[in-house]
Amino acid sequence: MLVLRTRYAPLFTNYHTTTLAQPLLSIIIPAYNEAERIPLTLIDIDKKLSGAEYTYEILVVNDGSKDNTAEIVSKMAASIKNLKLIDNKENKGKGGVVRQGMLLATGKIRLFTDADNSTSIDHFDAMMPYFKEGYAVVVGSRAVKGSVSEPAQPIYRRISGKVGNLIIQTLVLPGIWDTQCGFKAMTDEVVEKVFALSRISGWGFDVEMLALAKRFGYGIKEIPVHWVNDPSSHVGASAYLKVLLEVVKIRWWFWRDKYRGLP
């Protein structure tokens, strides 16, 4: 942990000198059929980062959308600072495009967030002190003290979420109370190591990513978020079952030593 603190703390004390060739922050947004929601998200990110004292880039990774998501993002790049489009013609799955975007990004800190803006980009300000302390991974959580969900999820979803999390903690990731919040940041070093080994392209990629980071010995910090529930979310009930099935796969791969290069 001390090595990470020594290496990354200067990024925040001297962030005003970072060049665009290697920005401090990369924001990766996976997008599938997000033509209606992503314009407001990009406008909000641009507005909140316009006065930032650090350099940044925004990468939208189009996951083979059937609508005009890619066209809209491409047009908005003319007016939104440092916005780039990665346009996949075929669907890779959320985990697949997050992996792609994280590896193609150039920032010292790389953050992925949802296209529906359920967790606004200004939460990154709350993450920065923990990177200064030496944490290599800082993740948003709807399950730690101080978090707010608006509106609150139905009771059956909250119960199923807690049960699912207990299964995840038991099998692969003890101590992390919300693995599925789509707002996570990590250093470039973590990205290069973890995503080089990751195998999950579906909804369980968050669990795999965090489990691999933990196996490498990186410090992980959960912070509370103000999470806005979008009723038009693309995530259905079947996604929870898929996550748990993928968690079983991850556990099996750990047992069978399928992740080559882990310490």
55-74: per-residue pLDDT in tens?
999 999 999 999 999 999 99
Of 106, 80, 94, the C-alpha closest to 24 is: 106
Taking all residues of the chain, what is their mean pLDDT, rounded to a whole number? 90
Bridge partners of 220, per DSSP, are 137
Instruction: Determine the pLDDT at residue 1.
Output: 31
Residue with tokens 């410090």: 219
Residue 231 has pLDDT above 60, yes or no: yes
Q: How many CA atoms lie within 13 A of 105 on its CB side?
A: 37
Is-contact 77 85, C-beta < 8 A? yes
At position 95, the amino acid (one-letter code) is G
What is the pLDDT averaged over residues 133-145? 97
181-196: per-residue pLDDT in tens?
999 999 999 999 999 9
Is-contact 223 144, C-beta < 8 A? yes
**Rounded Cα gap, residues 157 and 197, in angstroms:** 31
* pTM of the shown model: 0.89
Instruction: Determine the pLDDT at residue 235.
Output: 58
Residue with tokens 């933990």: 214
In the chain, domain spans: 2-255
At position 203, the amino acid (one-letter code) is W
Which of the following CATH numbers is that of domain 2-255: 3.40.50.280, 3.90.550.10, 2.60.40.10, 1.10.260.40?
A: 3.90.550.10
- For the chain, the residue count is 263
